[in-house]
Structure formats: C-alpha cells, structure tokens
Amino acid sequence: MHDLGCPDIRIVKQNPITLDDPEVSDKIGMINFRSITVRAFKMPLEDRCEDFGQIAIYKGTLSEYLHAFDLDDHHHLETGDRSVFAVIPPIC
C-alpha cells in the first residue's frame, strides 16, 4: 500500500477464514487465512507516528456513527468526549 501512495494504513477489523472443504485443507496444510479490513490514507507524512500533543474530538457527523467512531482496532473516538482523548497517544 505504501508503494501505491498510502503511507498510513490502519487495521479496522480482522477475522479468521475457515476452510470447510477437507480436501482443500489437506492440500494447503498448516496455512491460516484471515480477512482484514483496512483504512488506507493517501496523504504526505513526515513521520508515521507524529506526536505533537494534538487532541481529537469526534463530532458525530457520520450518520452511521453518531455516538462513536473506530478509526482502527485501537483508536475509539466517542462523540464530543474530550475526557477520554484529552491527549491522544500517537495515532500509529
């Protein structure tokens, strides 16, 4: 993704994929498959883990996420809540 101009990639969700066909499973061996949903951002970054003491307040403007928004698998923003994210750890 980085080579395609998206230096900031965030994993939103991961799920294992099961193989239900024993014949295929026997041929593949001990390989695990996962479905991974990502958010990729195409923007210039000096450093992927920039930390200048910024704060983030989610305003609840996405109709499907009125009360909270998960940026990725470890950044949860609640609408209007500064107390939880008064100072965000670096978003990386």
pLDDT tens digit sequence for 49-90 = 666 667 778 889 999 999 998 888 888 888 987 644 434 455
Q: Which of 86, 63, 67 is nearest to 78 (CA)?
A: 67
Is residue 27's pLDDT more than 70?
Answer: yes
The Cα-based distances of 31 to 19, 35, 44, 67 in angstroms read 10, 14, 36, 39
Give yes or no: residues 39 and 60 share one domain. no
Is residue 19's pLDDT more than 60?
Answer: yes
Contact criterion met (CB below 8 Å) for 61 and 41 = no
Structural domains counted in the chain: 2
10 Å Cβ neighbour count for 77? 19
Give yes or no: residues 51 and 77 share one domain. yes
Give yes or no: residues 37 and 53 share one domain. no
10 Å Cβ neighbour count for 14? 11
Q: Which two tokens stand for residue 24?
A: 């295929």
Is residue 13's pLDDT more than 80?
Answer: yes
Least confident of 37-41, 44-48, 58-62: 44-48
pLDDT average, residue stretch 3-31: 90
DSSP 8-state assignment for residue 2: G
